Structure 1
Amino acid sequence: MKVTELLARTNTDAWLVMKGREILAEEYFGQMEPGTRHLLMSVSKSLVSSVVGALTGQGVINVNRAVEHYIPVLSSSGYKGATVRNVLDMRSGVRFSESYLDPTSEVRQLDEAVGWSATKNGAACGLKAFLCEVQQERGHGGHFDYRSCETDVLGWVCEAATGRKFSDLASELLWFPLAADFDAWLSVDSAGTGIFDGGISACLTDLALFGAMIRDGGVSLRGNRILSSDWVEDIFSGGRDSDQAFAAGSYAERMPGGKYRSQFWFLSKDRDAVFCLGIHGQMVYINRRTGVVGVKLSSTPLPVDPFAGPATAAMFNVINDLLS
């Protein structure tokens, strides 16, 4: 299948490919233009974790501390005893189903709590209220299990540790030093709390700048140090049991050899190719060996399309090989 056919078949709104500093392809479709902000869904998670990484580098956050050290109210929730590292790697023991098509799942309850869908009787009102009601079902630090609520805890930790709004932190620590061309937006709930797990909207080329920063060890194309080299290296190398934690989880069969670290995905055994992923077809591809960065923003009808996601990842892998 040709790239043009795949882009059309997968509801593409915009896409680009960068190698080094050069953008080799950049296209927009429908109503999208260079300055149009697109909802990133869970690509937001990788941006949030990078703010955590910057604050860790400043000594403001210690990822080995329990989340209730920063957010005492969570000591009475299922997050009691979970460390920031547990949450970064989605290895807490809380009960949370990410089944998007199940109207009773916790991810749909979260949508209700933040106002992204109609609220039913008894639903938590607001993000923080929802997180305070999350229950624990197993020990923290076990196998990987994808849960959007983990990123919401991370955003809250950033705010609690600094006494500042996440949007201000992200602007100062990430977006400004990236020299982004356009402001990013953060959706908020009725109380003004950011919807950290999927509520960031940004422009296509600015996501490429973010991908290049991760590719280049935490340094932006302007030469600004955003993340420590150790933090970025840890994303690629993982923890001592990251591989085993992923292999024991529910994603192992569809992503053999995969890994999840600090809100970034590895879809295979290739530890040089890392992905930021979001439902409805959002993807950032980063290959630190070849210097290739790919971004695709889409509007697939299904949250997780069984064809579009794997086909897009395969497309970027093929383009990467051709550019190697």
Structure 2
Amino acid sequence: MIETAPLNDLMWARGYTDPAWVRRYTAAGRELSPSRRVWRGRAPARDLPVRPHDLDALEIAAPDGSTLKLPELFAAAQTDAFVVMHRGSVVHERYLHGAEPHTPHFNASAAKSYLGLMAAMLAHQGLLDRTALASHYVPELAGTAFGEAQVDHLLHMGTQLSYAGRRFDKAIEAQRYFAVVGPQLRPYGYSGPGSIREHLATARATGAPGTEFRYENGNVEALAEVLRRITGVTTSALLGELLWSHLGAEEDAYYILDSEGVEAACGGFSATARDVARLGEMLRRGGAVGERQIVPEAVATTITSGVPDGYPRRVRFPAAPADSPATLSYHDLWWIPNDPYGSFMASGIHGQRLFVSPGLELVIAHFASQVMSPAVQAAPLVPAFLQIGTHLDTRG
């Protein structure tokens, strides 16, 4: 018998089928939910050098054998903002659907990688023990799937769990998470958790941690609570202190908050494409902004290495069909394409990407409002990024 979700769960799996509706949430999060700013700091914005390249005529080969040009890629991806940096200069920049350079945009799950970066920095400083159980830092998580997992398990999506005794279904649980942090997204008669902490408390282990890759938001929210307990500050303040205020960012960023004033760390972050590109450029340069080291070089240069023993070295992208080959790696909440250029990527639903390729001296920030549906083919973003990078690399 084919295993399917119960009929009463269908409301949770409807997804987002209208790009305009998706865009309302990707571009206007702080107008729809409580939010907390991530401060850009007192220093003036750091100029981004501009060295324009016309990429519109570049023929991009898609995995299915077809070709398309950049405007066609933008149409397929419902692109809102696109910034390409090569060798430290902005070579291509585009804004669509009313987006502007100063407009913060939902980063979705790309924000997971930023939290992973902060955790790696704190571990490098000796403030965070990767081998400790999460409950060592957050006693309230004791007995939950997250509390009985090591910090390193959380950083590698290494928990196996179910919520409130339900059979685990990634897509449905993602919708339930949205209902936790967004009361306006709750269906009529909703009686589930009203905060992130309440949601985490319902998770129970269904298998040993550290043996399987299972992409799940709760790992990141549990990790965020660990970091808050270690540092004594909010996720917004920590990101501002460790990263955002040192990038020369043009704009404050922000997180949306749940009913208890806790940041939706796994995906509730918004920032401009230019400032996200600045973050990527800092990592491409080994953690430095100008002559100042922001992220320890040992952290910035090991994002693509160090997947712990016991974890799969190859995993599938969350939206990929179940029969697709597992070709990516996953380390400290970053996706690793395993290409020849040492690339790594922060990735979020609806087409949010920060792509960093040290070997190609390339950084790309892409924001979009793409429909997520089996009936809509995903735009070939990563293949396009690599082809843009190799094209620029040959041109010098």
User: TM-score, normalized by length of structure 2?
Assistant: 0.75
8 Å CA contact 2:317–2:328 kept in 1: the answer is: no
CA deviations 1:291-315 (Å, max 9, x no partner) are 1011110011227886334x11111
1:112, CA displacement in angstroms?
1.6
Match of 1:93 in 2: 160
Mapped to 2, the partners of 1:304 and 1:87 lie a distance apart of 29
Match of 1:151 in 2: 220
CA gap 1:127/1:87 in 2 versus in 1, 3 angstroms: same
Q: 2:324 aligns with which of 245, 251, 254?
A: 254
Mapped to 1, the partners of 2:111 and 2:291 lie a distance apart of 23
Superposed, which structure 2 residues align to 1:173-184 within 5 Å? Answer: 173-184=242-253
CA deviations 1:23-60 (Å, max 9, x no partner) are 00011112111100001100111111122122223322
Mapped to 1, the partners of 2:240 and 2:267 lie a distance apart of 17
CA gap 1:227/1:63 in 2 versus in 1, 3 angstroms: farther
1:265, CA displacement in angstroms?
0.6
Match of 2:6 in 1: none
The structure showing larger relative contact order (alpha-carbon pairs under 8 Å, at least 6 residues apart) is 2
8 Å CA contact 2:315–2:330 kept in 1: the answer is: no
CA gap 1:264/1:192 in 2 versus in 1, 3 angstroms: same
**Does structure 1 residue 263 correspond to structure 2 residue 341?**
no
Return 5+ residue gaps in structure 1 as ranges.
none
RMSD: 2.3
Letter in 2 for 1:23: V
Letter in 2 for 1:207: V
Letter in 2 for 1:47: Y
Superposed, which structure 2 residues align to 1:5-44 within 5 Å? Answer: 5-44=72-111
Mapped to 2, the partners of 1:135 and 1:216 lie a distance apart of 41
Q: 2:128 aligns with which of 55, 61, 77?
A: 61
Overall identity of the aligned pairs, in %: 26
Mapped to 1, the partners of 2:325 and 2:387 lie a distance apart of 17
CA deviations 1:80-129 (Å, max 9, x no partner) are 331111101111232364633xxxx2222211221252155430110011
CA gap 1:70/1:124 in 2 versus in 1, 3 angstroms: same
**Does structure 1 residue 118 correspond to structure 2 residue 186?**
yes
CA gap 1:53/1:268 in 2 versus in 1, 3 angstroms: closer
Q: 2:354 aligns with which of 284, 296, 300?
A: 284
Letter in 2 for 1:180: A
Mapped to 2, the partners of 1:286 and 1:140 lie a distance apart of 29
Larger radius of gyration: 2
Q: 1:235 aligns with which of 295, 303, 320?
A: 303
Mapped to 2, the partners of 1:206 and 1:307 lie a distance apart of 29
State the aligned residue count: 318
1:255, CA displacement in angstroms?
5.0
User: After the TM superposition, which segments of 4 or more aligned residues of structure 1 sit over 4 Å from their partners?
Assistant: 247-253, 268-271, 303-306
1:268, CA displacement in angstroms?
4.2
